[in-house]
Chains A and B, each alone.
Chain A
Amino acid sequence: AAGVIQSPRHLIKEKRETATLKCYPIPRHDTVYWYQQGPGQDPQFLISFYEKMQSDKGSIPDRFSAQQFSDYHSELNMSSLELGDSALYFCASSLLSGGTGDTQYFGPGTRLTVL
């Protein structure tokens, strides 16, 4: 079965640079979520989109923005990168309108390293 696709899988950036992470949800899923997982930490919710509209927002820095496009893929844009942004970034998708509840299926993650 098709899974959530994230690209790139690894990304190395310098401080103050920008980064764009991409997420392609499971086909026909209508909701996308972004999470950040620091080393040894649990995943922390950043933001979510339902049918291309922002549906919920967590502790996402103002330097970060995200959107969901007409083909349902999503991008997380990160500017003025800081050392503390180094983490594993997960995208997850779910089908809220399908009656299966909000089971979120995660992509493999993008490991961002800021030097």
Chain B
Amino acid sequence: AQKVTQAQTEISVVEKEDVTLDCVYETRDTTYYLFWYKQPPSGELVFLIRRNSFDEQNEISGRYSWNFQKSTSSFNFTITASQVVDSAVYFCALSESQGAQKLVFGQGTRLTINP
């Protein structure tokens, strides 16, 4: 069975600090996708990134970066120079690669950026 664990329930930092959100996953599939979604206080789920299990290359998008390590089954998310607008709940998710497969979400990490 697939499982995603986000051990950090809540994180609070001061603006401009760097922060890393951890994600560890379990799956028996050799091919799968990993995702990060952001849920701001308004409630919608915003897609941030999708990573194929065959692609371990790290990715940077502005202040956001992702570190995928298959050896440790981790897909961590770092925000550099955090801003108040980054405050949200962040979900890591996993899906199989075949067919219209469901997303299995982690429990989410509530990130609060204080001014």
Is there an interface contact between B47 and A106, defined as CB atoms closer than 8 Å?
yes
Is there an interface contact between B43 and A102, defined as CB atoms closer than 8 Å?
no
Q: Which residues of A contact B106 (CB under 8 A)?
A: 42
From B47, B52, B100, B104, A55 is in contact (CB under 8 Å) with B100
CA–CA, A44 and B106, complex, Å:
10
A43 and B44 contact, Cβ closer than 8 Å, known pairs A50-B100, A56-B102, A102-B101: no
What's the nearest-Cβ distance from chain B to residue A28, in Å? 15
CA–CA, A96 and B99, complex, Å:
7
Is there an interface contact between A55 and B99, defined as CB atoms closer than 8 Å?
yes
A43 and B103 contact, Cβ closer than 8 Å, known pairs A101-B52, A102-B33: yes
Say yes or no: is A94 at the interface (Cβ < 8 Å to chain B).
yes
Interface flags, A30-51, vs B, CB<8A=1, else 0: 0101010000001111001110
From B46, B52, B91, B95, A42 is in contact (CB under 8 Å) with B91
Say yes or no: is A70 at the interface (Cβ < 8 Å to chain B).
no
CA–CA, A43 and B89, complex, Å:
12
What's the nearest-Cβ distance from chain B to residue A16, in Å? 27
Interface flags, A76-88, vs B, CB<8A=1, else 0: 0000000000001
What's the nearest-Cβ distance from chain A to residue B58, in Å? 19
Is there an interface contact between A90 and B91, defined as CB atoms closer than 8 Å?
no
Q: Which residues of A contact B95 (CB under 8 A)?
A: 102
Which residue in chain A gives the minimum CB-CB distance to B43?
A: A109
CA–CA, A104 and B99, complex, Å:
13
Which residue in chain A gives the minimum CB-CB distance to B108?
A: A42
Which residue in chain B gives the minimum CB-CB distance to A105?
A: B47
Interface residues of B in 10-34 (CB under 8 A from A): 33
Say yes or no: is A58 at the interface (Cβ < 8 Å to chain B).
yes
CA–CA, A104 and B105, complex, Å:
13
Interface residues of A in 64-114 (CB under 8 A from B): 88, 90, 92, 94, 96, 101-109, 111
Is there an interface contact between B99 and A45, defined as CB atoms closer than 8 Å?
no
Q: List 18 A-B contacts (CB under 8 A).
A: A31-B100, A42-B107, A42-B108, A45-B102, A45-B104, A48-B102, A50-B99, A50-B100, A55-B99, A56-B101, A90-B45, A101-B50, A102-B95, A102-B97, A102-B100, A106-B37, A109-B44, A109-B45
